[in-house]
Each structure stands twice: as structure tokens, then as C-alpha cells.
Structure 1
Amino acid sequence: MTRIAVIDNHGQFTHLEQRALRDMGVDVELLDNTTPAADIDADGVVLSGGPDIDDIGNCAEYLDLDIPVFGICLGMQIIAQELGGRVGNGDYGGYADVTVEILDESDPLVGSLYPETRVWASHADEVKEVPDGFERTATSDICGVEAMSNADENIYGVQWHPEVAHTEEGEAVFENFISVCDRQSVARQ
């Protein structure tokens, strides 16, 4: 059974991420972002959303665990900031129902949603520039980087919230991440 650690960055939807994965048959552990990286025993890590990029605990260390990482909203911003990208204020602000254009139909995380999907996203802050080694894999009229991927390192992020009912194909995104975790787990054995 796939084991995924959901890292709680104190976002309002984190429990929904845990539930979505559990309902898909994943062994899920919800951990505070202060959990030492050495204590994480999982096939993958989800960095949850949250209100404050200055309160990310040990999230930077989780990027070095050599397991797939999936950042959601603040989680994606943490990945970008820690790996040399740039995060800034969004022009749009709060939550909205957004049509997202998928740019790479071969992307392991969001490619199956090609050519576009409807999502629920907050754009108070957003990734302005992806780190070296990453590709921008989705965009919208209000945000240039709605998703990003480094498939070689198995590190992915989306600006939107796949765990909420307003996101049309959120379950597919989680299923795709589970597949990434399963493939890497098999490759390590």
C-alpha cells in the first residue's frame, strides 16, 4: 500500500487532502511541518496549502528526502522559493473558480487534464518564476504559473486546491501523484 505523508502548513483544507488520499486507499499520515525530515517514512510527501510562507517549519528539508513531492498552493510556493524560483503577490487575490490551460499533456501530474480544467484557487501569492529544472505546466488568465513540474526529480506543484469539490478533476491529480510515488517506489527496490 502506498504511504504518503501530508505535511500540515496550517491551511484550511489540509484535512481534505488527507481524506481524499485515504479514500483512494492510500496509507496517509498527517504531520505538522515541524516534524523532523528523518521521522518521515513514506513513498511521497504532499506539502499542504497554508496562510504564511514565513511559517513553513521543516518543509525545505522534505525536498531532500529522495521521494516524490507534491506542493499544493503554499506548498508549490515553498518549492519554488526554496529551489531558487520567485514568489510574489498575485494580481487577483482571493479564491476563485478558474479555467486552467494545461501546457504539457505528457506531464506526470497534470497532463491527463489536457487541454484545460476548472479549478478552485487562491491567488493572493503565486509563483512568478519557476526554479531551474522546472517547467511551467499550466497557466490561466489570472496566473502565469498555475502548475510546475520537475519530472526528473519528481517534484510537482499546483496553485489550485485539488482536494475541494469546486475543482473538477482534483481526484485525477491525486491519482497521478500516487502513480508517480508507486513508480519511484518500485524503481528504488
Structure 2
Amino acid sequence: MGVIGVVNFGGQYNHLIKRRLEDLGFQAKFINPNEPVQVLSRELNCLIISGGSWNIPADIPKLGNAPQYALEFPGPILGICLGHQLIAYEFGGILGNKTPEFGGVRIRIDNEDTILRGIGAEFTAWESHNISVDKEPNGFTVLAHSDLVRVQAMANPRIGRYSVQFHPEVKHTEFGDIILRNFAELCS
């Protein structure tokens, strides 16, 4: 079983991600966002980049080396919320702020791919964002959408990048444990 690094920006959601992974039987550890990518590459099999109350691209300087992780870390990465936006931005996607979502949002699956495998056609997820991904980067597939946001989840398995706008780590998200397990199984 691989070690999953959770980039720790200090938010409560970061702690929930680590706890959920451990509850599912996976080994997880917090990573300081200023660690060099070369160090992480030796110690970890994959990464999760979540975030906090920052906005992409304006607050990228506050994210330490996380933008470099998105581009250069050799293992799989799961971006959650801010991490989703960061991955999209770093790979050339288009972000917008016309469709904020807060609370329970109905998500419709367009393509189960790897991380949404075994969930079904739709589910309710917990959202907390002002910025959203309006257009996925080249090479990425849209996995899910909501009424207001076209790119709720996306993936590029060829380069091991997966991301979701919602928070699978909170209990308010249906099937959140399945999503985290599906990603964690890529780390072994």
C-alpha cells in the first residue's frame, strides 16, 4: 500500500481528508506545501491537494510549491476544490466566478472513469466555492457536472491527474468514501 501525502494548508478539510483515508485503511501524512517536489517524489506514492479560502490564480503565491506539485509530481494527484481549480489552471483550463455553489449540490456523472467508479448516475455533494472550472484543460475528460458548473470532476489518467470541485471527505457528500478509496487504490 502506498503513502498518500495530503498537502496541508492548515484548513479543517485537510484534517478530514487525512482522517477519512486512515479510516479507510490507507496510510496518509501531512505535507508542508513548501517541500521540494523532489523530496515528495521519494517519500510518497500520490498526493491530494485540497485547499482553503484562496482564489486561483490571484492567491497562487500563498500555495507554496503546490503549483509545481500539480505539474511535476510523478505519481497520481487528486485535486479537491481549490486543488481542482489549481490543476485546471496549471494545465491550461479556464476558470470563472459566475457560478458559486454552497451546501448540497446534485452532481450528475458523465463518465465514471476511475475516481467515480461504482457510484451510479448522480449523487449529492458538499460544495463551498466561488471559483469554478468553466473549461477543462486539453487532454482532460469531464467526469461530472451540476446544474451550475460544467466541470464538477475531471481526469487525465495518462498523466495521473484527477480532480473534483466538491468535498468527498465530508459526510454530507454521498459516496465520498468510495471516491477517496477509488483514488487511494491508484497509489499502490
Fold match by TM threshold 0.5: yes
CA shift in 2, pair 1:77/1:10, >3 Å: farther
What's the CA shift for 1:87? Answer: 1.5
Out of 9-18 and 70-79, give the one that drifted further. Answer: 9-18
The answer as to 2:114 corresponding to 1:80 is no
Matches within 5 A, 1:37-186: 37-40=37-40, 41-52=43-54, 53=56, 54=59, 55-63=62-70, 64-93=72-101, 95-105=102-112, 107-182=113-188
Structure 2 CA distance for aligned equivalents of residues 102 and 15 of structure 1:
27
| Contact 1:104–1:114, Cα closer than 8 Å, also in 2 | no
Q: Secondary structure at the match of 1:111?
A: coil
List per-residue Cα deviations over 1:22-52 (Å, max 9, x = no partner): 1122221111212211221111100012111
Structure richer in strand, relative to its length: 1
| Contact 1:90–1:143, Cα closer than 8 Å, also in 2 | no
Structure 2 CA distance for aligned equivalents of residues 92 and 62 of structure 1:
26
Q: Secondary structure at the match of 1:30?
A: strand
Q: Report what 2:14 is aligned to.
A: 14
CA shift in 2, pair 1:65/1:176, >3 Å: same
Which AA in structure 1 matches 2:20?
A
| Contact 1:37–1:61, Cα closer than 8 Å, also in 2 | yes
What's the CA shift for 1:11? Answer: 3.3
| Contact 1:90–1:123, Cα closer than 8 Å, also in 2 | no
- Ranges in structure 2 where 5+ consecutive residues have no aligned partner: none
Q: Secondary structure at the match of 1:19?
A: helix
| Contact 2:8–2:14, Cα closer than 8 Å, also in 1 | yes
Q: TM-score, normalised by structure 1?
A: 0.90
Structure 1 CA distance for aligned equivalents of residues 52 and 151 of structure 2:
18
Which AA in structure 2 matches 1:173?
I
Structure 2 CA distance for aligned equivalents of residues 165 and 47 of structure 1:
19
Q: TM-score, normalised by structure 2?
A: 0.90
Identity of aligned residues (%): 37
What's the CA shift for 1:161? Answer: 0.3
Structure 1 CA distance for aligned equivalents of residues 169 and 14 of structure 2:
8
Structure 2 CA distance for aligned equivalents of residues 90 and 21 of structure 1:
33
| Contact 1:86–1:128, Cα closer than 8 Å, also in 2 | yes
| Contact 1:134–1:149, Cα closer than 8 Å, also in 2 | yes
Structure 1 CA distance for aligned equivalents of residues 51 and 121 of structure 2:
25
What's the CA shift for 1:154? Answer: 1.3
